[in-house]
Amino acid sequence: MKKILILLLCLALSASLLIGCKGKEPATATTPASTQPEKTFTWRYQTAEAENEVAYTINCKYLAKIIEDATGGKVKVEVYPMGTIANLDTTADATAQGACEMGEWISGMAANKAPAALISEAPYGARDAYENNEVHQLYKWKDYHGLNSLLRKGYSEKFGVHYLTNNYFGQNVLITTFPIKTVKDLKGKRILMFPHSLWLEDFGAVSTDVPGFDFYMGLKLGTIDGMYWSTDGIDFFHLYEVAKYVMLPSEDAPNTHTGVNQKAWDAIGPELQSRIQAAVDAYYWRQALGEQQRGIEGLAVGQQHGMKVINLAPAEQSKFVKASRKYWNDLEKMDPLAADAVNMYKEWMKYRGIPWE
Interval 52-103: pLDDT, tens: 888 898 899 999 999 999 999 999 999 999 999 999 889 999 999 999 999 9
Inter-CA distances, 151 with 115, 186, 228, 237, Å: 10, 34, 24, 31
Which residues, given as ranges, of the chain have pLDDT below 70?
Answer: 1-36
pLDDT value, residue 12: 41
Query: What residues does each domain of the chain span?
Result: 41-115+126-172+251-352
CA distances from 20 to 11, 23, 259 (A): 14, 8, 69
Give the closest residue to 186 by CA, choosing from 172, 206, 171.
206
Residues 219, 224, 226, 231, CA torsion sign: negative
- Taking each helix axis as running N to C, give the angle between helix 336-352 and helix 147-159, from 0 to 180 degrees, rounded to the nearest 10: 170
Length of the chain: 357
Phi-psi category of residue 333: left, alpha or beta, with phi > 0 → left and psi -120 to 50 → alpha: alpha
Q: What local confidence, expressed as pLDDT, does residue 157 receive?
A: 93
pLDDT at 66: 95
- What is the pLDDT at residue 36? 63
CATH architecture of the domain with residue range 41-115+126-172+251-352? 3-Layer(aba) Sandwich (3.40)
